[in-house]
Structures are given as C-alpha cells and as structure tokens.
C-alpha cells in the first residue's frame, strides 16, 4: 500500500490486517522502551493546513515510535503565506527528503491530488481533507469497537448509530465506508439540513429522529461535532434547538442499552452535541479512541513506508 487517501482504497482483508497490525503494535506502546527500528532512515512530514490536536500529535508519536524522523510543518509560519502553491510546497518537502507526507487540508481532494497528479513520489496519508474523508480516524474507531466488543476480526453484526452533522463530517463518511466494509449495520441520524444526499448509496440507513434511533438500542453511538467552520448560512435555528433534538443529553444517555458504548472523534463541544454525563461515563470510549490513534497510525505508516505489498 503506497498511499492511504480513502477507506474505499482498502479491501476488507487490508482493513482487517491494518487493525491486526495496530493491535499488535499497541503492545509496543505498553512497553517501557516504546521504540521499534522499523522506519529508521525514513522522514515523515506532518503537513497540516487545518488545526489538529489528536491527529497531528499521534502521527508524530507513531512515526517516532517506529524510529522515523518527523518534521512538523505549520501552514501559518511557512511560505504559503507568501503565496506558494500546494504543488510547490509538496515538491519542496520531497526535495528536502520527505518519504511520507501526512496531509490535512480544508479542500476535499487535496490528498488525492498530492498522491495522483505526478507532482511527487512520496507516500501520501490523508489526515482529513475538507468534508471528504479521515481514514485513520475510522480505522482507530474500528479498532476501539473491536476491543470494546471482544471482536478479533471484523465487526459483523455490530449496530452503529452516527449522530449529528453528517453533511460536513469526513469522520462520518470514512466511518460509514469502513463499518460497512467490516460487516456492521450503520444508521446515520441528523437534521435534514445536515444530511448529505446519496448517503444511502454508501449503505447507511438514514434517520431524522434521534430518540427513535436510540430506542433501537444500538451497540455503538458515535456523536459528531457540529462543524461551524464549514457552514455558510444557517443549518439549524439555534444551538439550543439543535441540542434539544440531536445532543446526547444525560436523559438520552441513560436510555442506552447496558452494553452499548459512546464514541466521539473530538474535539467535543460539551453541552452542545454531548453531555458530560455521556462523555465522562464508563460507556465512553473517547480516550481509548485517542490512545488507539497512535497504534493505528503506526500500522498505516509502516504499511505505506515499509514497501510491503499488503
Ligand atoms: N479527531 C480529530 O481529527 O481530532 P483533531 O482535529 O484534534 O486532529
């Protein structure tokens, strides 16, 4: 695997292998000496044009744990502010020795352009492109669900409910694709204004009533952040109205099934899309998701940079 741009690039076997590798690499993260020599001599550049806490830091830790050199590129202090293009920036980074570029960009398709327009030959890993995809987030969510439900292969039969701003969410898109690939049943729930047309074609059922969807006792409830930064105009009457219909409030949280779990990719807006009762409960997997980000990104960096034909 040379690049990871979209979950649709993966076969089921490749996805399961990445999860298996990540589960094995997680044991390295428990050791006192958390280093493997696997990517010694390789250079990974984190090229982030949008803010990030979890993704950027976990890619940095993952690369360092595999003994790669890591360069963190900050768009705000670079020559981008002098008008340099994405192509020239990427070619400059490759000339400086980058073997892999981990890219986050506000435009859907930016990672695909870097990988496939012939500008550079480095491996490209999509760390989130606009509202399109965030494939490593979906992989870390799948690993977290596998662990939570004691599943060792795929997620066959698991019932997942993804809630909120589906329209602007790259996390939702990558998760629908991966959960379906792994055999789960997926429902997306949100207001009509925040539901992308054609999401059913990706295999998801659509709901416009959260309480009704929760009454079906899904195994996993994945809450999404409302992405105000991608909204032009008004998609709901007020935050209060949105929360009334779509937040995982304390009351809704208490209606969940005994074994159900709650996920959120972060950053969370407590009191808006998720209550503290839900976020801080024993059902919440939020911090496990963050921790699994390191091992999943180690597996992805290894798969793209090791030259193995997996
Ligand atoms: N989940 C996620 O992508 O978080 P960051 O924006 O902090 O990287």
What pLDDT was estimated at residue 308? 58
pLDDT band at 281 (very low <50, low <70, confident <90, very high): very high
170 carries an active-site annotation: no
Largest CA distance in the chain: 56
55 carries an active-site annotation: yes
Tell me, using a 6 A CB cutoff, whether residue 265 lines ligand 1: yes
Tell me, using a 6 A CB cutoff, whether residue 135 lines ligand 1: no
Q: Look at phi and psi of residue 217 and say left if phi exceeds 0, alpha if psi is from -120 to 50, else beta.
A: left
What is the rounded CA–CA span in Å between residue 122 and residue 90? 9
Span 249-274, average pLDDT? 96
Span 109-113, average pLDDT? 97
* Coil, helix or strand at residue 196: coil
pTM of the model: 0.96
Tell me if 30 sits within 8 A of 295, measured CB to CB. Answer: no
What pLDDT was estimated at residue 125? 98
Q: What is the bridge-based pairing of β-strands 205-207 and 185-189?
A: parallel
**CA nearest neighbour of 144 among 261, 284, 289, 293:** 289
Q: Which residue has the higher pLDDT, 68 or 78?
A: 68
Whether the predicted pLDDT of 310 surpasses 50: no
Integer angstrom CA distances of residue 302 from 3, 44, 63, 212: 11, 11, 9, 42
Write down the catalytic residue from 42, 104, 105, 168.
Answer: 104
Span 196-224, average pLDDT? 97
What is the average pLDDT value for the chain, to the nearest integer? 94
CA of 274 to the centre of ligand 1 (A): 16
What pLDDT was estimated at residue 238? 86
């Amino acid at each position: 695997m040379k690049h990871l741009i979209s979950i649709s690039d993966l076969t089921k076997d490749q996805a399961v292998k990445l999860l298996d590798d990540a589960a094995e690499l997680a044991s390295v993260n428990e050791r006192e000496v958390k280093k493997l020599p696997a990517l010694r001599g390789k250079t990974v550049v984190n090229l982030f044009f949008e803010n990030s806490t979890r993704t950027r830091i976990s890619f940095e830790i993952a690369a360092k744990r595999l003994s790669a050199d890591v360069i963190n590129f900050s768009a705000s202090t670079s020559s981008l502010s002098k008008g340099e293009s994405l192509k020239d920036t990427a070619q400059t980074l490759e000339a400086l020795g980058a073997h892999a570029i981990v890219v986050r960009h506000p435009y859907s398709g930016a990672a695909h352009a870097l990988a496939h327009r012939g500008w550079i030959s480095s491996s490209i890993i999509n760390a989130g492109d606009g509202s399109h995809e965030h494939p490593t987030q979906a992989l870390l969510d799948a690993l977290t669900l596998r662990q939570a439900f004691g599943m060792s292969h795929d997620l066959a039969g698991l019932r997942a409910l993804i809630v909120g701003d589906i329209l602007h969410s790259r996390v939702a898109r990558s998760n629908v694709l991966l959960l379906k690939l792994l055999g789960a049943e997926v429902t997306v729930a949100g207001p009509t204004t925040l539901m992308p047309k054609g999401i059913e074609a990706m295999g998801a059922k659509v709901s416009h009533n959260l309480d009704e969807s929760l009454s079906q006792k899904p195994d996993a409830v994945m809450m999404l952040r409302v992405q105000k930064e991608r909204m032009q105009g008004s998609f709901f009457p007020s935050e209060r109205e949105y929360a009334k219909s779509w937040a995982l409030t304390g009351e809704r949280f208490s209606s969940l099934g005994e074994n159900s779990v709650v996920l959120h990719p972060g950053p969370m807006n407590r009191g808006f899309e998720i209550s503290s009762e839900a976020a801080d409960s024993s059902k919440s997997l939020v911090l496990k998701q963050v921790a699994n980000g390191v091992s999943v990104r180690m597996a992805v960096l290894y798969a793209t940079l090791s030259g193995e034909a997996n």
